[in-house]
């Protein structure tokens, strides 16, 4: 019987500017009610993997607040678990605070694990992916490790700085390069790996000899270049939502207001779980006018909302119009205001300014707790 331990890796992710200044990428709100890491955790859970370690790079409290005890994603709480790992010694020195150093600093917990295989995924390539066929294919192949990739036709404008795979005729990885946008067509790494446990432990041990600055991604590339590791590549043909920049976050969020895209990410038989909040349903006033928007529970909407994403406990007063915007939790927008192309972080109050407007190609970011 194969035993698999899952790792949700919050290290080595893209920087979303002010949005990730005080929170890790995985804890960023998405579509008004999810955290970005919910997709990775739900994929593990739905694939029958409920022994999960979350590698936290920074802002541990934000992650703990989001996942709580982790039981939302654990099928069997008697045998399953969710553990948060962070490197106490290196957390204040970013250059040395890698996912590898995190794992090594928590090696005693990992050594007690009985898993035969290690599956590592991340919070910035959103998808609904069943890992079981990939695990079966990896085991049958006899390779040391496997990587899951997406064949794309827009590598010249998207997926920049992601790993681009060169494959041989039998689907083994020959080389991993950084996508610099020079070609349209590419095999883009989704940052999801499956390792035989012995190969994984060997790579971790080797990393101390190669460079203390190397994380898992760089170590995999090193091991391919030095022919230390045999790496299979398996194509994922489903829908992928890359969150690689603040612009990606805004563009992809707004794109999912369109059901034709949303239905490819949210599959009927593949639930995306998140922690529930004990808040009432959204309350709509007599003059509320809402179209093509996500409205989370706990909101009070008395005005007009169009093509927007409204998180929990947001108040939109009478005579106010919110269009083409993303509004985070507990924001209050007073009477008669107009917001368009705005990304407002948590606890923002718009009580004085009559109009707050950005640009379709550059949303106006309003930082957490700002008063306008």
Give CA torsion, residues 55, 56, 61, 66, to 10 deg: -60
pLDDT of residue 156: 94
| Architecture of the 4-265 domain | Alpha-Beta Complex (3.90)
Strand partners, 366: 344
CA distance 5 to 118: 5
CA distance 198 to 206: 12
156, 243, 332 from 14: Cα distances, Å: 18, 8, 29
Q: Is the backbone of residue 142 left (phi > 0), alpha (psi -120 to 50) or beta?
A: left
DSSP 14: P
CA distance 39 to 61: 20
Q: Where in the chain is the domain with CATH 2.160.10.10?
A: 283-366
Which pTM value belongs to this model? Answer: 0.94
Q: How many other CB atoms are found less than 10 A from the CB of residue 56?
A: 26
CA distance 170 to 202: 25
DSSP 15: P
**Tens digits of per-residue pLDDT, 174-198?**
999 999 999 999 999 999 999 999 9
| Architecture of the 283-366 domain | 3 Solenoid (2.160)
Q: Where in the chain is the domain with CATH 3.90.550.10?
A: 4-265
Tens digit of each residue's pLDDT, the chain (372 residues) = 578 999 999 998 899 988 998 888 999 999 999 999 999 999 999 999 989 999 998 888 888 888 877 788 887 777 778 888 888 776 667 778 899 999 998 888 777 778 899 999 999 999 999 999 999 999 999 999 999 999 999 999 999 999 999 999 888 999 999 999 999 999 999 999 999 999 999 999 999 999 989 999 999 999 999 999 999 999 999 999 999 999 999 999 999 999 999 999 999 999 999 988 788 999 999 999 999 999 999 999 999 999 999 999 999 999 999 999 999 999 999 999 999 999 999 999 999 999 999 999 999 999 999 999
Q: How many other CB atoms are found less than 10 A from the CB of residue 333?
A: 29
Strands 364-366 and 342-344: parallel
CA distance 288 to 107: 55
Strand partners, 323: 306, 340
Contact call for residues 30 and 60 (beta carbons, < 8 A): no
In 3D space, the residue among 279, 272, 282 whose CA is nearest the CA of residue 302 turns out to be: 282
In 3D space, the residue among 34, 33, 45 whose CA is nearest the CA of residue 4 turns out to be: 45
Give the pair of three-digit tokens for residue 272: 């995306």
């Amino acid at each position: 019987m194969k035993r698999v331990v899952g790792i949700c890796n919050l290290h080595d992710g893209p920087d979303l500017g002010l949005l990730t200044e005080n929170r890790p990428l995985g804890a960023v709100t998405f579509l008004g009610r999810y955290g970005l890491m919910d997709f990775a955790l739900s994929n593990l859970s739905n694939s029958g993997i409920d022994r999960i370690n979350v590698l936290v790079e920074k802002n541990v409290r934000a992650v703990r607040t989001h996942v709580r005890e982790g039981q939302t994603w654990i099928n069997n709480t008697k045998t399953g678990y969710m553990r948060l790992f962070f490197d106490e010694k290196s957390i204040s020195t970013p250059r040395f605070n890698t996912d590898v150093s995190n794992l090594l600093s928590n090696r005693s917990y990992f050594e007690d694990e009985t898993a035969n295989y290690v599956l590592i995924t991340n919070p910035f390539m959103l998808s609904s992916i069943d890992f079981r066929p990939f695990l079966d294919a990896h085991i049958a192949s006899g390779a040391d490790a496997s990587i899951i990739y997406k064949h794309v036709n827009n590598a010249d404008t998207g997926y920049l700085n992601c790993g681009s795979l060169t494959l041989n005729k039998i689907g083994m990885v020959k080389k991993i390069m950084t996508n610099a946008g020079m070609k349209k067509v590419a095999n883009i790494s989704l940052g999801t790996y499956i390792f035989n446990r012995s190969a994984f432990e060997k790579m971790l041990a080797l990393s101390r000899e190669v460079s203390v600055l190397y994380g898992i991604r760089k170590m995999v590339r090193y091991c391919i270049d030095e022919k230390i590791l045999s790496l299979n590549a398996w194509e994922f043909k489903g829908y992928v939502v890359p969150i690689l920049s603040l612009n990606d976050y805004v563009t992809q969020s707004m794109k999912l207001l369109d059901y034709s895209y949303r239905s490819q990410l949210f599959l009927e038989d593949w639930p995306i779980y998140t922690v529930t909040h004990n808040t009432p349903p959204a309350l709509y006033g007599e003059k509320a006018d809402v179209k093509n928007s996500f409205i989370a529970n706990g909101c009070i909407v008395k005005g007009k909302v169009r093509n927007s994403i409204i998180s929990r406990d947001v108040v939109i007063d009478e005579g106010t119009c919110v269009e083409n915007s993303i509004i985070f939790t507990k924001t209050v927008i007073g009477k008669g205001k107009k917001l368009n192309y705005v990304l407002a972080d948590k606890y923002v109050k718009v009580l004085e300014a009559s109009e707050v407007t950005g640009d379709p190609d550059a949303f106006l970011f309003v930082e957490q707790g700002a008063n306008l």
